[in-house]
Structure 1
Amino acid sequence: MRVLKILLFIIFFSFGVEAVPFEKISFLNLKEDLEEAKKEGKYLFIMFEQEECPFCDKMKRVTFQDPRVREYFTKHFYMVRIDIKGSNPVVYFDGTEMTEKELAHKFRVRATPHFVFFDHEGKKILSIPGYIPPEEFLLIGKYVAEGYYKKMSYFKFKRMIKKD
């Protein structure tokens, strides 16, 4: 009976979450990923994560499965996932090479998930830690994709949207 429960648990969690359509299949060459995103009129963002991160799993299970998030982010973004403890080599926007762990350190990522959004030149627009519900994630997407980041801070944008 215990084995059956374990098997059902594995099956449920293996097939319960669809692939994320805006996730970029990346060879961790952020320079190339950024160029490709720019060519397609999309923005690049990194999801820093780690194994056994319950809030990372919640992002994948809840926020990334929301139809509005899937549609908007597929149209406007590429996401690259980085393991904050990983040792895989990453090519940064300027061509320098570092490990995933070193990249996480560069952005001062301490907890996961952590999202960093970039403009088309590789300049950081926004860095946000923690689980983000679908409504908030859509606001972040709109802030970046519609260019509000050029005019105001995210927090000012959020207040402006809440007033309307």
Structure 2
Amino acid sequence: MKNKIYFALVGILMVLNLYSQTEHLKWYSLKEAIELNKKQPRKFIIDMYTDWCGWCKKMEAETFQHPAIANYIQNNFYPVKFNAETHDTIEFKGKKYTNSGTVQRSPHSLAVELMNNKMSYPTIVYLDEELNLISAVPGYMNAADIEPILIFFSRNIYKIYPFENFKDDFNKTFKDSTFKEHIQWKTFADGLKSNKKKIIFLTHQGCIDCNIMLKTSLQHDTIANYLNRHFSCIQFNILTNDTIDFNGIKYFFNPSQYPFHQLAVALTNGQINLPQMVFLNEQNQLLSLVPGFFPTKNFEMLIHFFNEEAFKNTSWENYVKQFKSTIP
């Protein structure tokens, strides 16, 4: 069982300056990164630079070598240095790319393709695990600028949510000192006594996605009111030392057995992938385990789907198509 546990907390380095480490970022060539990706798929972050670009040098020295940023990139991406004006012949996805320019500062054809022919430096290119272009982000960025971008791409949030919205949520979570809790969170002991359905939100202080959901998606007035009215809400730190009684069985945290609380392992069948929500019916029986980051409107659909018991007669995909949000 222990070998089936998947540790998907976002790094444990997390929020900028939360954990300061001294590891320096190790860069790869594109060829080296592609070979590593065959064994352990990850996204790619490619620093498109030139020898004459001063802002590229500043970003390398200050942004990419910031301890938290360096560690996050090293644990979530294959970092690649790419001289956009190199004259090397490079093979990429079965095609050979060259630099046939004869004038000074002529760009390499692969750089032109990945940067969408917008040749400004520095530009940071993001590729998915299949080497498909996700985005090319131009301009100098300091550590605080690039942090939400790294999370946005590494955690696949770009697939469901515009970056500007995510950035707003990120800033509300980590930079807004006026946060007020609207959810009526229950302990396990009190929450399980309720005759309502239950939602157990698995979290950990180092999980960025979790923190963002807890302080934005769940705190919207419409969402919070609906949750408080229809669900017994339990926030579950998967590293808590508390002994928890669940359906007549006592669970505790034994790090020599599992890296997480025993109940977290039991509820998820060992497949922990935060953020993660466990939905229980009124009798505390499992309805579903739902992993992933949910923006506000997506989360609204999710809680309606389970409270209305739509899952009994329709698929999630069909429900999403016909759902009418009450959030402007």
With normalisation by structure 1, the TM-score equals: 0.76
Q: Counterpart of 2:112 in structure 1: which amino acid? A: H
Q: Shift in Å at residue 62 of structure 1?
A: 0.7
- Name which of 121, 125, 129 aligns with 1:112: 121
Aligned match of 1:48? 48
Which residue number corresponds to residue 89 of structure 2? 89
Which residue identity lines up with residue 58 of structure 1 in the other structure?
Answer: K
Counterpart Cα distance in 1 of 2:161 and 2:63: 25
8 Å Cα contact 1:114/1:130 also seen in 2 = yes
Paired with 1:156 and 1:68, the residues of 2 have a C-alpha distance of: 23
Per the alignment, in what secondary structure is the counterpart of residue 71 of structure 2?
A: helix
Whether the 8 Å contact between 1:41 and 1:76 is mirrored in structure 2 is no
Q: Check whether the contact 2:42–2:128 (CA below 8 A) recurs between aligned residues.
A: no
Provide the C-alpha distance between the structure 2 equivalents of 1:73 and 1:151, rounded to a whole number of angstroms. 22
1:17-32 counterparts in 2 under 5 A? 20-24=24-28, 26=29, 28-29=30-31
Change (3 A) 1:82 1:154: same
More helix per residue: 1 or 2? 1
If asked which structure has higher relative contact order (CA below 8 Å, sep 6+), I would say 1
2:65 matched to which residue of 1? 65
2:78 aligned with 1:78: yes
Alignment partner of 1:146 is 2:150: no
Cα distance in 2, alignment partners of residues 85 and 41 from structure 1:
28
Whole-Å separation in 2 of the counterparts to 1:98 and 1:36 = 21
Q: Cα distance 1:34–1:151, how it changes in 2: closer, same or farther (>3 A)?
A: farther
**Contact 1:22/1:73 (8 A) holds in 2:** no
Counterpart-to-counterpart distance in 1, 2:150 and 2:171: 15
2:285 corresponds to which residue?
none
Tell which structure's C-alpha radius of gyration is larger.
Answer: 2
What residue in structure 2 maps to residue 160 of structure 1?
169
The answer to whether the Cα contact below 8 Å between 2:48 and 2:121 also exists between their aligned partners in 1 is: yes
Name whichever of 65-74 and 40-49 sits farther off: 40-49
> Partner letter of residue 141 of structure 1?
L
Q: Could you tell me which runs of 5 or more consecutive residues in structure 1 were left unpaired when the two chains were aligned.
A: 1-17
Q: Which residue of 1 aligns with 2:206?
A: none
Alpha-carbon separation, structure 1, partners of 2:69 and 2:38: 20
Q: Does 1:102 align with 2:109?
A: yes
Task: Call closer, same or farther: CA 1:22–1:141 in 2, change over 3 Å.
Answer: farther
Unaligned runs of 5+ in 2: 1-21, 100-107, 174-328
Q: Give the Cα–Cα distance (whole angstroms) in 1 for the partners of residues 138 and 96 of structure 2.
A: 24
Q: Which residue of 2 aligns with 1:4?
A: none
Q: How many residues align?
A: 142
1:38 shift after superposition: 5.8
Q: Is structure 2 residue 136 aligned with structure 1 residue 137? A: no
Q: Which amino acid aligns with 2:161?
A: M
Matched-pair contact (CA < 8 Å) for 2:43–2:78: yes
CA RMSD of aligned residues (A): 2.2
